[in-house]
Amino acid sequence: MPSASTATPDRAENERVAELLAGLNPPQREAVTHGQGPLLILAGAGTGKTRVLTHRLAYLVYTGRAGIGEILAITFTNKAAQEMRERVELLLGRRTRGMWLMTFHSACARMLRADAERLGYSRQFSIYDQADARRLVKRCADELGVDPKRFTPASVQSQISDAKNRLRDAAAYRGLVESYFEQTVADVFELYERELLRSNALDFDDLLVRAVNLLELFPEVRDRYRSAFRHVLVDEYQDTNYAQYRWLQLLVGGGRGGDAQGGREEGQRNLAVVGDDSQSIYSFRSADIRNILDFEDDFPDAKVVKLEQNYRSTQTILSAANAVIRNNRSQKPKSLWTELGEGDPVKVRAFDDEHAEARFVVGEIERLVEEGVSRAELAVFYRTNAQSRVLEDTLVRREIAYQVVGGTKFYERAEIRDAVAYLQLIANPQDAVSFTRIANTPRRGIGQTSLSRVLAHAGSVGISVWEAACTPDTIPGLGTAAIKALCRFGETLARLKQKADEGVPVGDLLDATLHETGYLDMLEAERTIEAQGRSENLHEFIEVAREFDATADPGEAGLDAFLQQIALLSDADSRSDDEGLVTLMTLHNAKGLEYPIVFIIGCEDGVFPHSRALDEGGLEEERRLCYVGITRAMRDLYLTYARARSLFGARTYGVPSRFLFELPDELTDREEAPSARARSEPVPSWAHAAGSPPVGPSAVSYRLGDDVVHAAFGDGVVTGVEPGGIVVVRFASDGSERKLMAEYAPISPR
């Protein structure tokens, strides 16, 4: 703590503070040195919001405005918290162990540890992670006789989680029930809550809910924290949900609807939040963009600081980001500028398919590394995890070290390893490890005990697990249900093995395996975003096998050769990484990060923006995701798309992403020559939907108001005609507007 007792520390302090503020522009400095009361920094990407928070933390401590233990600082991830702590310690030149610098979940858990007894838990309460919670939901649903095929535990769990994020308890949820599904969820919800309490356990969402309860029910606890935390700071505020909002409000006083306990002392309201409404990308996890947009209404006396200078990107990249986000209606206008110069145009590249796209990206990476760029300066972003696979294969082949952030490398993912285990077992019935891995995945009533009996029996009699499993009635100690389950499983395996022996292509074998074992049905029934992602990965894996079938030498074909290739691919990453790693990640994971050179691949309508988002009216959120992606780039940005792509198990012909059309020509360098295929065949290369007949004769011209029909999107009406043969069509099915190439898209007059 600085002291005023001698002149020297004073001067040292002043110098230190001056130094701290030197690396900031005037509005940043204003935010860092802001005194009492609410503070909002609503600013675009790369304007130094996170930097301001970090400096403000250091400033508060350094000037004695707050002690280390009197600050609560919230980040979106643990990694971000750790980075911020390192920076603050660097700025302060001292450790900050007592500072509450963490995620919402960690802060709430810490509060609850101290006061759990007030809510009827003991201090030793358990925290159930997602998997634990799902198992409990399942148990409750079973107990209530809910049909797990109709309403999967995962879908029930996601409803419960969403309710909790909105601070609705089981009774409140029941009050809003509108369908049979919700009725069922309400029943499970009630039992689930009773069971959690009985087990002295909290799920992730409960951490927030219970912390809010604690602060609402016990004024003395609330007052304690209010006076303990003289300053509260929050990064990425645009992605907070209602429970988080309420928790903050209770800690600082004031906020929407005023203080629920009216008449009580207001709290210090030293809440500083930073965020960017253009980067709100988590509404699917109940994040509520209103939390940032309404901040000024909640706190009318809030000091609002706007940051407009971007320190990350070239003007071209910024203008590109602005051009895209401008198409969103609900957007606070912002104008970003930079001193980093015009920079190179955004490179837009088109390819015949995803392999050509991957070859290009990896080729550019090789070229850049040759020129002296470090691999660590390069990042490739994509919309869905499954898209990384083709790229990973190409990187592995060219021996370029890479990492997949926030995700697992393709061949290490659980569902892929399950699929490989099935194939391995079919190839090698002796394989007890593979058998153990998949015997009860999906669940088919072969529990741990039965499984160990099968293994023990096979061991003692000296037969393969497969043989043992196929003759379950000879295994001592098995119940009738288990015997039945094993018989059924054995039959399925035998059928698949026969296919393999007949030499069906590996792609077909894998396809049949995933269908006939019920694996894909299991994922389908979950109806969650995660399960859908896993299913997409598996279809991608079928695609790997089909490629293998199509390209392998006759001598090297077949299941064994395929498995060997996979084994080598998944083992290929123990290379040295002293020149850094190329980073691969989804656009969602890229939030808050920056890289000199960025590639965004798969810029096709349906891929990005994602078709699911389009169906569910999430176009504006997809556009914000695009804004996040573009603004990660410091120097160079590549946007690529493939005219045809095999993804999620189907071959589709892509329309370039509507986001590409939103980029003005003067910012881009486009190389989109028609593909070799388009020149030599009459079939339109951009036509959507595999197998659609060649339509849209090139002579047809459209006028505003024309009724048209599209092979994939159905009926629509022309709402715009643009130069270059582009028509804008609004589709009746989902109200979406799409830009299409009149000549190539599968549309015709109606």
Among 16, 20, 27, 28, contact with ligand ATP (rule: CB under 6 A): 28
Instruction: Give the helix/strand (H/E) hosting 529.
Output: helix 529-551
**CA separation for the pair 301, 297 (Å, rounded):** 9
**CA separation for the pair 496, 513 (Å, rounded):** 7
Per-residue mark of binding to Mg ion, 596-635 (x: CB under 5 A): ----------------------------------------
3-state secondary structure 120-165: CCCCCCEEECHHHHHHHHHHHHHHCCCCCCCCCHHHHHHHHHHHHH
Compare residues 596 and 618 and give the one whose CB is closer to ligand ATP.
596
Binding residues for ligand ATP restricted to 45-84, rule: CB under 6 A: 45-51
- By the 8 A CB rule, do 360 and 394 touch? no
- By the 8 A CB rule, do 268 and 295 touch? no
Compare residues 50 and 152 and give the one whose CB is closer to Mg ion.
50
- Give phi and psi for 718, each to the nearest 5: -75, 120
Among 70, 239, 276, 418, contact with ligand ATP (rule: CB under 6 A): 276
Angle at 531 (CA atoms; ends 527, 535), nearest 5 degrees = 115
Quick check: 592 binds ligand ATP (CB under 6 A)?
A: yes
> Catalytic residue at 565?
no
- By the 8 A CB rule, do 709 and 747 touch? yes
R_g of the chain, CA atoms, integer Å: 29
Q: Which residues pair with 720 in a beta bridge?
A: 728
Q: Smallest distance from the beta carbon of 29 to ligand ATP, in angstroms?
A: 9
Quick check: 50 binds Mg ion (CB under 5 A)?
A: yes
Compare residues 43 and 584 and give the one whose CB is closer to Mg ion.
43
Interface segment toward Mg ion; rule CB under 5 A; list 16-24, 193-201, 375-383, 588-596: 588-596
> Catalytic residue at 279?
yes
Quick check: 27 binds ligand ATP (CB under 6 A)?
A: no
- By the 8 A CB rule, do 635 and 415 touch? no
Quick check: 238 binds ligand ATP (CB under 6 A)?
A: no
The stretches of 398-473 forming alpha helices (DSSP H) are 414-427, 432-438, 448-461, 465-470
Q: Smallest distance from the beta carbon of 368 to ligand ATP, in angstroms?
A: 20
Beta strand 714-722 with 707-710: parallel, antiparallel or unpaired?
A: antiparallel
Angle between helix axes 559-570 and 414-427 (nearest 10 degrees) is 140
Q: Smallest distance from the beta carbon of 522 to ligand ATP, in angstroms?
A: 38
**CA separation for the pair 236, 292 (Å, rounded):** 10
- Judged by beta carbon distances under 5 to 8 A according to partner kind, the member of Mg ion, ligand ATP, none in contact with residue 312 is ligand ATP
Binding residues for ligand ATP restricted to 647-686, rule: CB under 6 A: none
Nearest to Mg ion by Cβ — which residue?
A: 50
**CA separation for the pair 58, 131 (Å, rounded):** 38
Interface segment toward Mg ion; rule CB under 5 A; list 314-322, 336-344, 592-600, 732-740: 592-600
For 399, counting Cβ atoms within 10 Å of its Cβ (0-12 exposed, 13-18 middle, 19+ buried), the class is exposed
Among 153, 255, 267, 592, contact with Mg ion (rule: CB under 5 A): 592
Interface segment toward ligand ATP; rule CB under 6 A; list 21-29, 369-377, 412-420, 449-457: 21-29
Q: Smallest distance from the beta carbon of 561 to Mg ion, in angstroms?
A: 48
Compare residues 84 and 167 and give the one whose CB is closer to ligand ATP.
84
Among 24, 243, 250, 644, contact with ligand ATP (rule: CB under 6 A): 24
Q: Output the six-digit token pair for 633.
A: 């780039």
Residue of 206, 236, 393, 636 marked catalytic: 236
For 342, counting Cβ atoms within 10 Å of its Cβ (0-12 exposed, 13-18 middle, 19+ buried), the class is exposed
Residue of 591, 632, 738, 739 marked catalytic: 632
- Judged by beta carbon distances under 5 to 8 A according to partner kind, the member of Mg ion, ligand ATP, none in contact with residue 46 is ligand ATP
Residue of 187, 193, 205, 235 marked catalytic: 235
Quick check: 646 binds Mg ion (CB under 5 A)?
A: no
Q: Smallest distance from the beta carbon of 318 to ligand ATP, in angstroms?
A: 12
Q: Output the six-digit token pair for 120.
A: 């009827």
Other Cβ atoms closer than 10 A to 130: 13
Instruction: Please give the size of the binding site for ligand ATP, defined by CB under 6 A.
Output: 17
For 84, counting Cβ atoms within 10 Å of its Cβ (0-12 exposed, 13-18 middle, 19+ buried), the class is buried
Interface segment toward Mg ion; rule CB under 5 A; list 68-76, 258-266, 338-346, 591-599: 591-599
Angle between helix axes 26-33 and 7-22 (nearest 10 degrees) is 130
Handedness of CA 354, 357, 362, 363 (dihedral sign): positive
Among 14, 15, 23, 459, contact with ligand ATP (rule: CB under 6 A): 23
Binding residues for ligand ATP restricted to 597-626, rule: CB under 6 A: none
> Catalytic residue at 347?
no
> Catalytic residue at 314?
no
Among 134, 226, 231, 312, contact with ligand ATP (rule: CB under 6 A): 312
> Catalytic residue at 123?
no
AA identity, residue 467: E
- Give phi and psi for 638, each to the nearest 5: -115, 135
Instruction: Please give the size of the binding site for Mg ion, defined by CB under 5 A.
Output: 3
> Catalytic residue at 235?
yes
Compare residues 592 and 684 and give the one whose CB is closer to Mg ion.
592
Which positions are annotated as active-site residues?
49-50, 235-236, 279, 632
Q: Which residues bind Mg ion (CB under 5 A)?
A: 49-50, 592
Q: Which residues bind ligand ATP (CB under 6 A)?
A: 23-25, 28, 45-51, 276, 279, 311-312, 592, 594
